[in-house]
Each structure stands twice: as C-alpha cells, then as structure tokens.
Structure 1
Amino acid sequence: MRSFAILAVAIMSAAPALAGPQEDFADLTERYWEFVLEDNPTLASSLAIEGHDDKLYDYSIEAMDRRAAMSARFLSELRQIPDSGLDEETRISKAILERSLSEAVEANEFGQRLMLFTNRSGWHQAIAGLGRNLKFDDVEDYENYLKRLAAYPAQNDTAIAVSRKAVEGGYTLPCVAMVDFEQSISGVIPEDASESRLYEPFRGEAPDMIDAATWRDLQQRALKLIDGRLRLAYGEHARWYRDEYAPYCSTEVGVSAQPGGAEYYDFRIRQMTTTELSADEIHQIGLEEVARIRSEMEKVAAEAGFESREAFIEDLRTNPKYYAETPEALMQYVAREAKKIDGMMPTLFGHLARLPYGIREIPAEIAPGTTTAYYNPGSPENGIAGTYYVNTSKLDQRPLWEVPALTVHEGVPGHHHQIAIQQELDMPAWRKNGTFFTAFVEGWGLYSERLGIEMGLYDTPAKDMGRLSYEMWRAARLVVDTGLHSKNWSKQQAVDFMTENTALSEANIDAEVNRYISWPGQALAYKIGELKIRELRGRARDELGEDFDLREFHDVVLGQGSVPLDVLEMQVMNWVAAKKSGD
C-alpha cells in the first residue's frame, strides 16, 4: 500500500502527457480513485477492496488540509486536459469530477470545516454502525474489525481536539437543536456491552469457517475492548460534550451568525442544489410551491368530508386509528407496504436492481431525536443488502398514513432502487461508488413519492393527504431553511410555519427543524431536484408525444448514476433528440 507522501509525489510529478486526452483522463481518475480509497478506508472496505481494512478515517486538521491540497493538484491537472480530445461520455465525467474537486477545495476554506457532527450524526455513530457495512468471511475480517475498534479511542481524541478548535472559533451548533444529543453518545454502549451495536458482528454461534475456540477468543477480546477502552472513550466524549461543548452552544440558530456564515451558506446552496439559485430565489420558489400544495390539500380535505384542511389534519394527528400500538405492528405495516410496491416496479422501469433491501428499526439511542426514517446503502461486493431504517420511538407521532410515501422514498423506487442501480452500472468506479449529488439523489426520492400516485398507493384520503403533506414538507423546507440561515428566522418561526402548512406530527416537526438548523442547505436539495425531474419529464412527453415511454424515461434518468442537475438535463434532452431522429 502506498503512503500518502509517496502518492502525493506521484501526483505532483504527473502531467497529462500520455497518449492523448482520453488516456490522460483515464490515468488521472485512476490515481484520484486510489487516493479516495486510501483516504476513506471504510469506503474501501464496503466495496471489498483490500488493503485498508484495519484503518479508520482521519478527522485531523492536517488531514483536511492534505485532502484539499491533493484535490487542488488533481483539479489543476484536470484543467490541462482539453475537452476537444474527449468523447461525450468522458466530457461529462470530466465536468462531474471538476465540480467535485472544486467543491472539496472551496469547502476547506471555511471555518465550518471544523464542525464534525450534526444533531443526528458524528464519529461516535459512524463507528457504532460500521459492523453492518462490512463483510465477515474469515478470521482476518474479524481481526481487522477489532483493530478498528482498538483505533477508535485515538480517532475520538482527534475529533474532540478538532471540535475544541471549533468551539474556540465560534463554530458551534445551536443549543435548541441539540436536545438528547448526549444520549446518542452515552447510549452506544449500554450496561451490558454485548448489547452494543459495536459487538453485533460477534453475536451468536461461531460461523462455519471459524472453530469454536477461536470464536470464543474473538468474542472475549471484543467484549473486553468495548467494555474497557471504548467505554472510556465514549465516556470521555460524553463528558467533553456536556462540560466543554454544550455550555458554549450557539444561541443563534442560523449559520449566517457564525464567522463567514453568510458566504458559507451561499456555498452550501450551490453544493446541495448544483444550481446558481440564490437564497431569496429558493425562498420564493418554496412559497409558491407551498401555496400550490396547500390548495390541493384543501381539495382532499373536502373530499374526505371535512370542513377545512386544518380540521382534517387535526383528525390525522390525533385519531388513534391512524397509529400502530407497538413497534412490531408498525414494522409489519411497513413490510406489507414495501412488498406491495415491489410488485408494481416492472410497470415503471425496464431495468430493475438486483440487490434487495431489508427493513430495520432505527437504533434506540438515536431514535427519539432523529427523523422518521432513512436509508443505508448495501454492498453487492460484500453481499450486504440495502436497509430502510424506520423510527419506532414515539409511536403516537408515527402515523400509518405516511407509510406509503415514506416507503417509496426510502425503499423502491426511491433511494434503494436508484443507488442499487448505480452500483450495477458499467461506468468508472470513481463515478459508480464515489459521486453523490444530493439534489439528484434526494430529488429522485421525492419524485418517487409522486410515482405512488401512478402505483395507486394513495387509495384513501388519509394516504393522499399523507403524500401531499410529505410534498408540502419538502416545499416548506425551501422556506424554512433559507429563513433560518439567511433571513434571521427563529426556531419557533420555523416550527410554526411547518405546523401551519404540513400534517407532520409535533415530534417530526421538531426533529426536522433541528436537522435544518444543524445541517444548513441539505434540505434544499429535495424539492429543487424533484422539480427538475418533473420538468424534464414534461418536456420529454411534450416533445415525443405518443413516442414517450415512461419506463424508458426513468431508465434514462437513472442510467448515468448521480449527476448534477445540468448534466441530468443534458442526458435527458439527448435521449429525446435521439428518439426523435430515430437513432
């Protein structure tokens, strides 16, 4: 395995002077991907690429600067390769890589780079869930996992040191968004360490490839490590957060109140939406979408026999018939909905993903303060399915009428289908496994909720209102996120706007607003991306008329993996032109 120093020398000395632009680009991306894998060892392991299996991510400031410097070198070399010598597909790949590298360089210029966690995630949760994303085929795999656990205290120390710098610089998360965050740290290792997610790979009987004595030894060493050094590390993390971070959390909710915050928010808008839209423009788009969706909600409420939208929403929020009484009942309802959707997929897609997905409950230590569901990609290389995680805490805040929209978004045809298809595409590894544009990925997820109409999923007024409420939720994000971070809104203003316009429960609204506060700009991607996909579908249908094929359109949208929205528009309109010319 190369060291970073050797790799850096190789990159600096490289120049695009092989056999031509195509070959130069291929050589550059090979070296770039090698750097990405060495810098992201758990990503490499998730792809079954060996040589990094006992290492963890480096959170140090030195590593941040090294990554930015390497990205700048790659960027300089990339810009020396002329587009004129590249085929169309390679030109697209070059534009995608240039955007990614430019953003990596720019991101490192902001003091917000020191903020290593949000109210729902951090290094302590990354290691806790690591075992579910790795293969365990032999003793060496378990030994490497133990080495990673042993390396965690040092990683924790590094991350805390960086976070101390964040506190000193005024880069802290707002107090109002951090309720129960300490529990997400202290809850990782319960009193019985064998119940921790960290120990999950060692539960049960010995695998066939490991003898009983070796298995017992692995189990004992894992328990000793988790109950000893890791418990101490998590304890120190919790103490640091309680004593050194929480007292200095920000009283201002908007990132614009931080040093350089306004400029940082402008960057986040560009990064998350892949557009040049301003905060004001996005705010206005949100207000217009809220007004349109509100009108549709009023029609559904009238059809359901209610005097007003508000009366129907109150019934949806409070009527016990809409809520599961046990976590198992909720999970069974989700599972049934997921299988119903599976059977409809061939009507909307010509290319179906081979990798399946499963459902799990969100881990108990983070469930009360996190969102209603999320998706975790699988790994075809490691034989790991994708996972749709469902929040089973606060059951009186998890209505069944939202399950259809939630499931098409997180499972299929949403995140699982899109990401699993990308994992199968015949394209360079760095694009297949290393590119993620939030506007595309989350825009597709929201667009998938609309496909539920064509699937017939919203077959009751309650479910249809659930679908509209979810769309309203994403439209309201455009207003709320920009309100919080560019218009000096308070958290209460954001909560009031969400309460007034969506049918989300009180707990969901509070968790969501906390998320927008601690993760600026990310929530803008959903609606901006979905509007672009809907726009392109309409344009393609209008231009092709009877020749428009919805299954083919969907395959085209997903056929190049995650791309910026301008690239998506180009690939769809190229498909339209080819269809019209008969190619």
Structure 2
Amino acid sequence: MKAGKLAALGAALLIGAAPAWAEAPSAAPGAARIADTATDEARLMALFRDDARREDALDPLALIYRGTAPDPAALRRLFTDSQLRAQRGSVIQSLALLRRIDRRRLGAERQISYDVFLAAKREEAEWLRPDSIALTAVRPFNHFGGLHIEFPSLMAKDGAVKYEDSADYRTNLALIRAFPTVLDNAVARFRQGLASGVVESRLTTANMIAQIDALLAQSPEQSPFYSPVREFSAGIAASEQPALRAAYGAAIRDEVLPAYRRLRAFLNDEYLPAAREQVGIAAMKGGPGLYRRYAGRQTTLPVEPEVIHQLGLAEVARIQTGMDQVKRELGYGGTLKSFFDVIRTDPRYHPKTREELARGFAEAARQVDALVPQYFSRLPKTRLAIEPYPAYREKFEAGGSYNQGAPDGSRPGVFFYNTFDLPSRFLTGITTLYLHEGAPGHHFQISLAQEDASLPDFQRFGGNNAYVEGWALYAETLGYPMGFYKDPLQHWGTLDDEMLRAMRLVVDTGLHAKGWSREQAIDYMLANSGMGKSDATAEVERYIAWPGQALSYKIGALTIQRLRKKAETALGPRFDIRAFHDQVLGSGALPLPILEAKIDRWIAARKAG
C-alpha cells in the first residue's frame, strides 16, 4: 500500500462512540462546577486540569518520570482492582464533562486539544473494558521495559527523582519501601492469568528471571536502590548520613530483595512451566483480536496486519536498492547479501573500545548542534546528556534509547547507547542513531512539548508511538539535507537503520499474525540487513514482548514525510521547513489523523495569506 493511503485509513478514528458502559449520566461528580465556567474554552481547560489531577493520583509512575514524588499509597495500588475501578470512574467522568462543551466555539489550538483528549479517553475506555482487562492486566510486565527492571533505574541517584535534601531522601525511601507491594501485586495478577489461560511466552518469562537474577547477584550496597547513599548530595549534612545509609540498607536487605526473591521463585517454579511455547501473541488465548487492537493503538490508524506486512516487504525491497549503490561506493563489488557478512565481520566497521563510541556520538552531537538552527526556529532548553547504558541493563537493551529530562530543565534528557558486545556494534550507525534518539529526534520532540506550559498536560507529557517514533525516524532523514550522508559509511548506516524500521513491519506482523518463530524472525533480519546477531536478537525479543509497537516507526515517518511533500507541493516558494517543523511539533504528540488535519489547515492558511 502506498504511503499516501496510510494516513487516510485514520479518517474514522474519532467517529466511533465510547463503549456503552462509559456513557455516564451528565451529572458526574464535578460537572456542575465546570459547567458553570464562563466560556466553552474555559470549561475545557478546567476539565483538562480536573482530569490531570485525577490521572496524577492514579499514575504514580508518570509523576516519578516528571520528577515529582507520588503518594506511596498510590504506588502500592499498581496492578490492583481498586486502581482499575478508579481509572474507569475517571474516564467516565471526563467523557461526561466533555459532552457539555461545544467544540465549534473553541479556538483552533483548543479544538486540537479537544480532539486529542476525546481520542485518548475513548481509547482508555476501550482498554478498560472487562474483556480487554482479562487479556492485559494479567500480564503486568515482561522483560522489555518491565517495572521490575525500570523502577530501580528510576529511583537510582541518577534516575528520575530528586535527591537534593534530606526530605527528598526520606520521601524516596518511602517509595522504595512501597515497591515490594507492587511486586507482590504483580504476582497476584500473573496468578490470575495462570488460572484463565492468558500467559506470557516462555521466552519473555525466562528473560525476566535472568534480569531478576542479575539484580539479586548484587549485594545490597551494589544495588541501584542504594546508589543515593553511596555518594550523598551536597545538601545532606554529615550528621544525617549514617542514619539514612542504615535506613536505605535495611529497606533493600529486609524488604526489596525478599520481594524480588518471591517474584523470581514464582516465575521460575510456577509460571515458567505454564508459559506458552509460541512467542507470537496470536498463540495466546484471545491473541489474534488483541494484536489487531495493539496495531491500531500503536499506529493510531485502523490497519490490517496483512496490509502492513506487504508494505514492509515493499519498503525492504526499495531500501535494498539504495544499499546496493552505497555498497559499490564503499568499494565492494560482490552481492549485497555477502556484503552484510563483511559489515558484520570487518573490524573497520566496529568500535574497538567504548571510548571510540563515546567520541563518535560526541562528534555527531557537535555537528548537529551547528546545523539545527537552519531547520528549527525553536530549540529545547533542556540539556541533552550522552551516556552508555548501566552494565546491569545493557545486555537486554537495544542499540540506543532516550530518557526524557525534567520539564523545568533541572534534569537533562539522556541519550543512552549500548556498549555490550562491542563487535556487534557499528560505527556506521552513529549519526543516524544520534539523530533519532537525541537531536532533533526524541530529545527535541519530547522536550519542546514538556517545556510548553500553554499546552494541557496530556499534550505536554502524553503521546502515541506513531507520532513519537515516527518523528524520530523522520528526524533521521534530515541527515540528507544536513550533508551527513555524503559520507558513504554514514549513508550506509542510515539505510541500515531505515531497513530496520521496514523489517519491523514484516517481522512484527510475521511473529504476531503469521506464526513466525523467534529464529525465523532473526534469520529474516540477518538476511536483509547488516545488523549483528546480538542486535537482531534483542530487536526480535523486544517485538515479542511488545506486540505492535514496532509498526509505529515506519507508519508515522511515512505520514510525516507525506505531509511535508504535500506542503512543499502546495506552497512552492512559500514553504518554510522551520515553519513546517513548528507545526508538526507545536501541539505535542498528535494522533496521525489529527496531525494531518492540522497541517491541512496550516497549508490552507499559508496559501490564503
């Protein structure tokens, strides 16, 4: 299917009604107060604030990511029925209040906010239906981004929370002490899945056990949870340090590590023997329909797995044509498939040391910083740091990722790169990986949204993968006009990364809709790209753990590229790349149909002006 038809599939995204159970009576709690506000726009913003207040109380992890410590009691409610009931009640209330507001009387930006909010609440309502919960809540996490491995990073000294004074230390200690309850709640959810026959794969379960083993192999003093008291912040008096050190050590030794041991014993002794052998979600009870819903959520479009599979095959063939040309520029006359083996094995394409990777990313950052003002009129205030993954995480991570900074700029965004198994890392991918994860990719998009206080919180901090990952992949293509890909080594790298996103369309649908095995998926990626086996394995195991997410990159990027082409054609000499980027980035992460409607209005206004 051509890229131009993909976004058109989303035209009906906002047409369907919310499920019947979510249609609350108009007299929802708080409705009268908001209904009495003077204007529709004021009532809408009051609704957004009210919803954000309720959502913050129900999503302690979001608060932690934003650098705010939540109530430990809210953390303890994760993975419980009481939390689900509260989430349902909040969605019902917000939909009822939204029906009282006349969209036609709103300004253009607030109409976008209305549309995004409505789409988000309808999606939440769908995923909170009992039939959805029965397939999702009983699988609380797996090895990719699971809370068992993510929470230690969040609470570490260099994580998301602040350790500036003794109050911070004691507040964060209370969160650490609440975390064992969260792990026990997760075990209870996994048990429900065992009873209903809705279980994770043996692969993801074995990987979780390995991750827990890596954490348990550390002494309490080596734990990420202990890092705040290994080296205290300057604001902590020497007289306070012994008591804090003892309290953190006791919490880790007596509460946190025993909870990890309980989780590990359950997963290994009870869950693993019952986990499903097949890795694809279609092999799970209720899986085929669930995969279609995952694909729709991740792309914000009503897509069909077979259509996406065929699009992926076409993109793979197109990119291979470009690869064949760059291969010749690199002085190789053999077949493309044989060059993939050369790329994997020739030492000149791989870093010899971790320091070599660090220098490469630092140089890419310097070059990008010099050029971005030509393409962007607004730059983030939040600083971008470049760091390797911590050793306990790197084996299970992709080649790179981004952690958002604090909205006030007090904590930088972090581009993490992977130094595990250096012979499988590539010097060719340095530029494109930095453009994607760092600037102007995730760091620009996420930071600019967070820093814009005029946006409602759900636009500042929320989003969807099709937009977020689509933007980051689109950002890679800016390396062409910036001149980075005149170097055939880096040109090969960006084609190889684009190939990865095209292969994702094939492999994700292959795994979850066509019954592919893990080995079949890895073999496909190795046969059609120059990526190393470690990367291919990590990628495939990520797709297994996160069905549908891998579809978002290419679908989102193709949509943004198509919208830019539409604007360039319609506006001719009036087209301004910086103004176009302002429009794409200026309202937070939008569902693709809403983004397209916004760009269409901008094109019409520029033509009229």
* Match for residue 116 of structure 2 among 96, 110, 129: 96
TM-score by length of 2: 0.90
- Counting only pairs closer than 5 Å after superposition, residues 393-412 of structure 1 correspond to structure 2 as 393-412=420-439
- Counting only pairs closer than 5 Å after superposition, residues 297-336 of structure 1 correspond to structure 2 as 297-306=323-332, 307-336=334-363
**Which one is further off, 414-423 or 250-259?**
250-259
Q: What is the identity percentage for the equivalent residue pairs of Structure 1 and Structure 2? A: 33
Unaligned runs of 5+ in 2: 1-25
Q: Distance in 2 between matches of 1:505 and 1:100?
A: 38
Q: Is the 8 A contact 1:480 1:494 kept in 2?
A: yes
Task: Kindly state the Cα deviation for residue 210 of structure 1 after the two structures are TM-superposed.
Answer: 2.3
Partner of 2:17: none
1:388-419 CA-partner distances (Å, limit 9, x unpaired) = 11111111111111111111110001001111
Partner of 1:107: 127
Q: Is the 8 A contact 1:134 1:382 kept in 2?
A: no
* Match for residue 568 of structure 2 among 541, 559, 563: 541
1:251-307 CA-partner distances (Å, limit 9, x unpaired) = 122212222222211211111101122112211211211111111111111222322
Q: Which amino acid aligns with 1:38?
A: A
* Match for residue 508 of structure 2 among 481, 491, 496: 481
What is the CA RMSD across the aligned residues, in angstroms? 2.2
Task: Kindly state the Cα deviation for residue 350 of structure 1 after the two structures are TM-superposed.
Answer: 1.0
**1:179 to 1:507, Cα distance in 2 relative to 1, 3 A:** farther
Q: Is the 8 A contact 1:466 1:503 kept in 2?
A: no
Is it true that 1:215 corresponds to 2:241 in the alignment? Answer: yes
Q: Distance in 1 between matches of 2:256 and 2:49?
A: 37
- Counting only pairs closer than 5 Å after superposition, residues 408-419 of structure 1 correspond to structure 2 as 408-419=435-446
Q: Distance in 2 between matches of 1:79 and 1:558?
A: 28
Q: Is the 8 A contact 1:45 1:52 kept in 2?
A: no
1:8-62 CA-partner distances (Å, limit 9, x unpaired) = x995352563234323322221110001111122433444557637852622133
**1:69 to 1:255, Cα distance in 2 relative to 1, 3 A:** farther
Q: Is the 8 A contact 1:135 1:141 kept in 2?
A: yes
SS at match of 2:303: coil
Q: Which amino acid aligns with 2:35?
A: A
Partner of 2:82: 62
Q: Distance in 2 between matches of 1:45 and 1:317?
A: 40
SS at match of 2:323: helix
- Counting only pairs closer than 5 Å after superposition, residues 84-233 of structure 1 correspond to structure 2 as 84-109=104-129, 110=132, 111-131=135-155, 132-204=159-231, 206-233=232-259
Q: Distance in 1 between matches of 2:222 and 2:371?
A: 38
Q: Is the 8 A contact 1:266 1:278 kept in 2?
A: yes
Partner of 1:458: 485
SS at match of 1:563: coil
Q: Distance in 1 between matches of 2:536 and 2:356?
A: 23
Q: Is the 8 A contact 1:272 1:521 kept in 2?
A: yes
Q: Distance in 2 between matches of 1:53 and 1:66?
A: 17
**Which one is further off, 442-451 or 169-178?**
169-178
Is it true that 1:283 corresponds to 2:309 in the alignment? Answer: yes
Is it true that 1:34 corresponds to 2:57 in the alignment? Answer: no
Q: Distance in 2 between matches of 1:323 and 1:265?
A: 37
* Match for residue 83 of structure 1 among 91, 100, 103: 103
Partner of 2:587: 560
Q: Distance in 2 between matches of 1:234 and 1:50?
A: 22
Partner of 2:407: 380
**1:447 to 1:325, Cα distance in 2 relative to 1, 3 A:** same
Is it true that 1:253 corresponds to 2:272 in the alignment? Answer: no
Partner of 1:6: none
**1:66 to 1:54, Cα distance in 2 relative to 1, 3 A:** closer
Q: Which amino acid aligns with 1:302?
A: R
**1:332 to 1:278, Cα distance in 2 relative to 1, 3 A:** same
**1:350 to 1:382, Cα distance in 2 relative to 1, 3 A:** closer
Q: Distance in 1 between matches of 2:508 and 2:421?
A: 25
Q: Distance in 2 between matches of 1:177 and 1:208?
A: 41
SS at match of 1:369: coil
Q: Distance in 2 between matches of 1:251 and 1:79?
A: 46
Q: Is the 8 A contact 2:383 2:409 kept in 1?
A: no
Q: Distance in 1 between matches of 2:335 and 2:433?
A: 25
Q: Which amino acid aligns with 1:298?
A: D
**What is the total number of aligned residue pairs between the two structures?**
574
Q: Is the 8 A contact 1:376 1:387 kept in 2?
A: yes
**1:208 to 1:483, Cα distance in 2 relative to 1, 3 A:** closer
Q: Distance in 1 between matches of 2:293 and 2:56?
A: 26
**Which one is further off, 258-267 or 504-513?**
258-267
Q: Which amino acid aligns with 2:282?
A: S
SS at match of 1:188: helix
Q: Is the 8 A contact 1:323 1:400 kept in 2?
A: yes
Q: Distance in 1 between matches of 2:537 and 2:432?
A: 20
* Match for residue 347 of structure 1 among 374, 386, 389: 374
SS at match of 2:415: strand
SS at match of 1:129: helix
* Match for residue 62 of structure 2 among 19, 26, 43: 43
Q: Distance in 2 between matches of 1:563 and 1:169?
A: 36
Is it true that 1:441 corresponds to 2:458 in the alignment? Answer: no
**Which one is further off, 183-192 or 125-134?**
183-192
Partner of 1:472: 499
**Which one is further off, 514-523 or 34-43?**
34-43
Q: Distance in 2 between matches of 1:202 and 1:190?
A: 20
Unaligned runs of 5+ in 1: 1-8
**Which one is further off, 247-256 or 152-161?**
247-256
Task: Kindly state the Cα deviation for residue 315 of structure 1 after the two structures are TM-superposed.
Answer: 1.3
* Match for residue 569 of structure 1 among 568, 593, 596: 596
Q: Is the 8 A contact 2:177 2:251 kept in 1?
A: yes
Q: Which amino acid aligns with 2:136?
A: Q
Q: Distance in 1 between matches of 2:68 and 2:248?
A: 24
Is it true that 1:14 corresponds to 2:31 in the alignment? Answer: yes
Q: Distance in 1 between matches of 2:389 and 2:73?
A: 27
Q: Is the 8 A contact 1:469 1:502 kept in 2?
A: yes
**1:85 to 1:150, Cα distance in 2 relative to 1, 3 A:** same
Q: Is the 8 A contact 1:156 1:237 kept in 2?
A: yes
Q: Distance in 2 between matches of 1:370 and 1:171?
A: 26
Q: Which amino acid aligns with 1:231?
A: L
Q: Distance in 2 between matches of 1:14 and 1:45?
A: 29
1:365-398 CA-partner distances (Å, limit 9, x unpaired) = 2321221111110103371101111111111111
Q: Distance in 2 between matches of 1:123 and 1:330?
A: 29
